Amino acid sequence: MRFTKKKIETVIISVLGEEGFALVDQLTGKENVSEFDLANKAKLDIKIIRKMLYMLYNHNLVGFTRKKDKQKGWYIYYWTLLPENIKFDYYKRRREQLEKLKRRLEEEHKELFFVCPNKCVRLNFDQGMDFEFHCPECGELITQDDNKDEIKIIKNHIDEIEDELKKLQESRIIRRKQIKKKIEKTKKKVIKKRVLEKKTIKKPTKKKPLKKKVVKRKSTLKKASKTEIVKKKILKKLLKKSSQKKKPIKKTVKKKVIKKKSKTKK
Is residue 68 within 8 Å of 75, Cβ to Cβ? yes
> C-beta of 125: minimal distance to Zn ion in Å?
17
**Cβ distance to Zn ion smaller for residue 20 or 128:** 128
Give the neighbor-by-neighbor strand order of the sheet with 113-115: 122-124, 113-115, 143-144
Name the CA dihedral angle for 44, 46, 52, 57, rounded to a multiple of 10 degrees: 140
Neighbours of 133 (CB within 10 A): 15
Please report, as residue ranges, which positions from 136 to 175 form the binding site for Zn ion (by CB under 5 A). Answer: 137-138, 140
| Cα–Cα distance for residue pair 120/113, rounded to 1 Å | 13
| Cα–Cα distance for residue pair 259/188, rounded to 1 Å | 83
Stretch near Zn ion under the rule CB under 5 A, chosen from 127-135, 163-171, 176-184, 242-250 = 127-135
**Cβ distance to Zn ion smaller for residue 52 or 116:** 116
> C-beta of 152: minimal distance to Zn ion in Å?
24
Q: Which of 22, 61, 123, 135 is in the footprint of Zn ion by CB under 5 A?
A: 135
Give the neighbor-by-neighbor strand order of the sheet with 62-68: 33-34, 75-81, 62-68
Does 82 engage in binding with Zn ion (CB under 5 A)? no
Please report, as residue ranges, which positions from 7 to 36 form the binding site for Zn ion (by CB under 5 A). Answer: none
> C-beta of 141: minimal distance to Zn ion in Å?
9
> C-beta of 110: minimal distance to Zn ion in Å?
24
Q: Which of 52, 62, 101, 116 is in the footprint of Zn ion by CB under 5 A?
A: 116
> C-beta of 113: minimal distance to Zn ion in Å?
14
Q: Which of 15, 120, 151, 158 is in the footprint of Zn ion by CB under 5 A?
A: 120
> Total number of residues binding Zn ion (CB under 5 A)?
7
Question: Hey, what long-range contacts does 89-95 have (CB within 8 A, 24 or more apart)?
Answer: 89/11, 89/59, 89/60, 89/61, 90/3, 90/7, 90/8, 90/10, 90/11, 90/168, 91/165, 91/168, 91/169, 91/172, 93/10, 93/11, 93/14, 94/161, 94/164, 94/165, 94/168, 95/165
Stretch near Zn ion under the rule CB under 5 A, chosen from 30-38, 129-137, 148-156, 234-242 = 129-137
**Cβ distance to Zn ion smaller for residue 29 or 136:** 136
Stretch near Zn ion under the rule CB under 5 A, chosen from 60-68, 96-104, 119-127, 206-214 = 119-127
Q: Which of 40, 58, 118, 252 is in the footprint of Zn ion by CB under 5 A?
A: 118
Stretch near Zn ion under the rule CB under 5 A, chosen from 134-142, 145-153, 203-211, 255-263 = 134-142
Stretch near Zn ion under the rule CB under 5 A, chosen from 135-143, 159-167, 188-196, 200-208 = 135-143
Chain residues that interact with Zn ion, rule: CB under 5 A = 116, 118, 120, 135, 137-138, 140
